[in-house]
């Protein structure tokens, strides 16, 4: 009898529910048996639960250890803080893994990219430690700065710890070893932020010494942006603090054709959460036109994580072939299929490969 896996399912907001439904149907069609536990989180959960991140959602992930999540809306400037960030912090999902890979048929200036972003997930400016100028905390920091900070400034704090950096550096090198990667590049801005980003480099160097078969190098984040646009083929695994990891992963997604083909996963010691890199795109909600590739590739990563490696690899091959053929894809890939229809074609291709 086939094993049944318990997985938390978070449909999300905007285009999330329709993407999740398509991906769920494809996964079930592969023959992998999953007991989905659907929970609410995001903007739409507020009216029902009074919060965008109910305790029931967190408890479900803690229990099942694996979750698949649709995109969730994050208000800009006002409103609740990011549910995505809260999930990662609450579950201590300290490592964000974002592969960026070229797929034939996806419009791109770079046809042979195969990069992996390893992003620290729990601290840096995403820690959310901020002070309004009117607060005692901001005024104390301004006073301590001895004129370096304007007196009318709001303040954000950027924590970088040895503990968190050791964990993400080890994760990056272990990933490189397990997946046959040759090089890890540490990225920061240590020439300016000497204490915080300087510590990130210091710990990565120490970790690199434990993995002598993996080449190690360092790049400043601004130079890294230029390098990736000019010669991305020189890079393999990039390990970065939280903010730079977020920015660079979007840049790399652009190199391979956009966020529509950019999957992601978040790992902790006990739990793993899989999600597309792109947002909830509320203006496309219910229109059945959004590309399901990013979330399908995230699901592929989930299948590998739970041990269904053969199915995961065949699913990626099916996705690759459908995109390359370019006939039954969504509009952004040059086709005229809807979200559901593209999912159905991928599943059909999956079975043709057996």
Q: What percent of the chain has pLDDT over 90?
A: 86
pTM over 0.85: yes
- In the chain, domain spans: 1-93+265-354, 109-123+160-255, 125-158
40 is an active site residue = no
Q: Domain 1-93+265-354 sits in which CATH superfamily?
A: Isopropylmalate Dehydrogenase (3.40.718.10)
% of the chain residues with pLDDT over 70: 97
Active site residue 284: no
What is residue 242's predicted lDDT score, i.e. its pLDDT?
96
Q: Across all residues in the chain, what is the average pLDDT? A: 94
pLDDT tens string 260-291: 999 999 999 999 999 999 989 889 999 999 99
CB neighbour burial string for 284-315, b if at least 16 within 10 angstroms, e if fewer: eeeeebbbbbbbbbbbbbbbbbbebeebbebb
Helices (H), 217-284: 221-230, 242-255
Cα–Cα distance measured from residue 172 to residue 183, given in angstroms and rounded to the nearest whole number: 10
Main-chain dihedrals φ then ψ at residue 87, nearest 5 degrees: -60, -45
- Which of 327, 303, 325, 324 shows the shortest CA–CA distance to 314? 303
Residues, the chain: 354
Provide the pLDDT for residue 75. Answer: 63
> Quick check: is 270 catalytic?
no
117: left (phi > 0), else alpha (psi -120 to 50), else beta? beta
The burial class, CB within 10 Å (0-12 / 13-18 / 19+), for 51 is middle
Q: Per-residue confidence at 89, pLDDT binned at 50, 70, 90?
A: confident
Q: Which of 103, 126, 235, 244 is catalytic?
A: 126
Q: What is the pLDDT of residues 243-254, one digit of tens each?
A: 999 999 999 999
pLDDT of residue 109: 82
Q: Report the DSSP beta bridge partners of residue 274.
A: 68, 265
For domain 109-123+160-255, the question of CATH label 3.40.50 is answered with yes
Active site residue 222: yes
Report the distance separating Cα 323 and Cα 330, nearest Å. 9
Could you say which of 24, 65, 69, 189 is catalytic?
189
């Amino acid at each position: 009898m086939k094993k049944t896996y318990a997985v938390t399912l978070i449909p999300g907001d905007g285009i999330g529910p329709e993407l999740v439904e398509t991906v769920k149907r494809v996964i079930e069609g592969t023959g992998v048996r999953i007991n989905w536990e659907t929970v609410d989180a995001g903007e739409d959960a507020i009216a029902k639960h009074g919060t965008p991140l109910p305790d029931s959602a967190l408890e479900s992930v803690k229990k099942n250890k694996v979750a698949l999540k649709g995109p969730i809306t994050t208000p800009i400037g006002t409103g609740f803080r990011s549910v995505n960030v809260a999930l990662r912090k609450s579950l201590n999902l300290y490592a964000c893994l974002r592969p960026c890979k070229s797929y034939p048929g996806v419009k791109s200036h770079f046809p042979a990219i195969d990069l992996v972003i390893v992003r620290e997930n729990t601290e840096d400016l995403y820690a959310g430690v901020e002070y309004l100028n009117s607060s005692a905390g901001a005024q104390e920091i301004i006073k301590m700065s001895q004129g370096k900070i304007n007196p009318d400034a709001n303040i954000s704090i950027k924590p970088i710890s040895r503990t968190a950096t050791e964990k993400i550096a080890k994760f990056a090198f272990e990933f490189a070893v397990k997946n046959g990667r040759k090089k890890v590049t540490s990225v920061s801005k240590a020439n300016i932020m000497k204490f915080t980003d300087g510590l990130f480099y210091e710990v990565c160097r120490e970790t690199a010494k434990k993995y002598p078969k993996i080449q190690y190098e360092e790049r400043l984040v601004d130079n890294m942006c230029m390098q990736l646009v000019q010669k991305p083929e020189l890079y393999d695994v990039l390990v970065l603090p939280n903010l730079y990891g977020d920015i660079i992963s979007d840049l790399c997604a652009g190199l391979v054709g956009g966020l529509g083909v950019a999957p992601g996963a978040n790992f902790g010691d006990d739990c793993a959460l899989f999600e597309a890199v792109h947002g909830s795109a509320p203006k496309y909600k219910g229109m059945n036109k959004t590309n399901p590739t990013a979330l399908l590739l995230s699901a592929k990563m989930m299948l590998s994580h739970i041990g269904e490696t053969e199915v995961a690899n065949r699913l990626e091959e099916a996705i690759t072939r459908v995109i390359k053929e370019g006939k039954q894809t969504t509009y952004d890939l040059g086709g005229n299929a809807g979200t559901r229809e593209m999912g159905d074609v991928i599943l059909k291709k999956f079975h043709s490969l057996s």
